[in-house]
Amino acid sequence: MARVALVTGGSRGIGAAIAVKLQDAGYRVAANYAGNDEAAERFTAETGIPVYKWSVADYDACAAGIAKVEADLGAVEVLVNNAGITRDAPFHKMTPQHWRDVIDTNLNGVFNMTHPLWNGMRERKFGRIITISSINGQKGQFAQANYSASKAGDLGLTKALAQEGARNGITVNAVCPGYIATDMVMAVPEKVRDQIVAQIPVGRLGEAAEIARCVVFLASDEAGFITGSTLTANGGQYFA
Ligand code: CAA
């Protein structure tokens, strides 16, 4: 029986690439999304992967959404915490709302999604939690105090949970993408983006599929000895 994988923020960008690569690898995949209905419908039409709408920032919505996915597809054995947002601003211009929005989605969202699934994974003695952090959680980034804090928090959560999950067959790992050619990075002003690309030794932005391949590897049964790790994929921009 194919394992069930749930990808948050799975209808666009890196999440969509992950969902597709997991499906290609034989998983039964569900994709969560929060806002863009049109993109989600298009994604399902193109891939056949069902989409489920809720905000990862809302614990009760996560619990209810997960219950629906499990009723439709079966117990979730692979969770990919990919949903993430930016509210970039230099700190002197960053508002409490900018701070809260990013922490609620990028860090609290990982708790909200992982917590309702944890006991089931413990009981079944198998689980894969893979969280998409970021190069900017490793090195910090100008105008991203909120985002960098959230993504660094994801790494701490990953390492703590890895210790708790190990005895029950649950691995917990993080992937730290560098700058990938997605809507999020394309929203950075072009001049700034050019400066960023100049700092990437391989000389280009990454592709979403390059991050998806990392996730498929960490999700596999064969990766059972890898836990608490951070897999960095950033074109050589930063060595953690
Ligand atoms: N280091 C030092 N100074 C910097 C800087 C940097 N990296 N980036 C900008 N500055 C400076 C500018 O030179 C400018 O200085 P002056 O005032 O002396 O000209 C100042 O900071 C910018 O001030 P502004 O008031 O003009 O800033 P703004 O309110 O217009 O904000 C910005 C602009 C939000 C900072 C914009 O430049 C930006 O979006 N930068 C990119 C931030 C970034 O890398 N975000 C990552 C998004 S992708 C992602 O997050 C995915 C992932 O995981 C990798």
| Ligand 1 atom with minimal separation from the 147 CA | 50
Which pTM was predicted? Answer: 0.96
Amino acid (1-letter code) at residue 137: G
Q: Measuring CA to CA, which residue among 131, 134, 91, 85 is closest to residue 240?
A: 134
Ligand 1 near 48 CB (within 6 A): no
Six-digit token string for 32: 């969560």
Ligand 1 near 90 CB (within 6 A): yes
Residue 89 CA to ligand 1 centre (angstroms): 7
Residue 240 is predicted with a pLDDT of 84
Ligand 1 near 200 CB (within 6 A): no
Catalytic sites, residue numbers: 147
Residue 99 is predicted with a pLDDT of 98
Residue 170 is predicted with a pLDDT of 98
For the segment(s) 4-230, the CATH number from 3.40.50.720, 3.30.460.80, 3.50.50.60, 3.20.20.80 is 3.40.50.720
Amino acid (1-letter code) at residue 68: K
Q: From atom 39 of ligand 1, which residue's Cα is the shortest distance away?
A: 188
Residue 90 CA to ligand 1 centre (angstroms): 7
- From 88, 91, 232, 234, give the residue whose CB has the most ligand 1 atoms within 8 Å, as the site to mutate: 88
Residue 204 is predicted with a pLDDT of 97
Ligand 1 near 82 CB (within 6 A): no
Ligand 1 near 237 CB (within 6 A): no
Ligand 1 near 89 CB (within 6 A): yes
- From 85, 142, 151, give the residue whose CB has the most ligand 1 atoms within 8 Å, as the site to mutate: 142
Residues of the chain under the 50 pLDDT cut: none
Q: From atom 29 of ligand 1, which residue's Cα is the shortest distance away?
A: 89
Query: Domain map of the chain by residue range?
Result: 4-230
The number of angstroms, rounded, from the C-alpha of 93 to the middle of its chain's C-alpha atoms is 27
Q: Report d(CA 170, CA 200) in Å as an integer.
A: 34
Q: From atom 28 of ligand 1, which residue's Cα is the shortest distance away?
A: 89
Buried b (16+ CB within 10 A) or exposed e, 177-209: bbbbbbebbeebeeeebeeeeeebeeeebbebe
Residue 176 is predicted with a pLDDT of 98
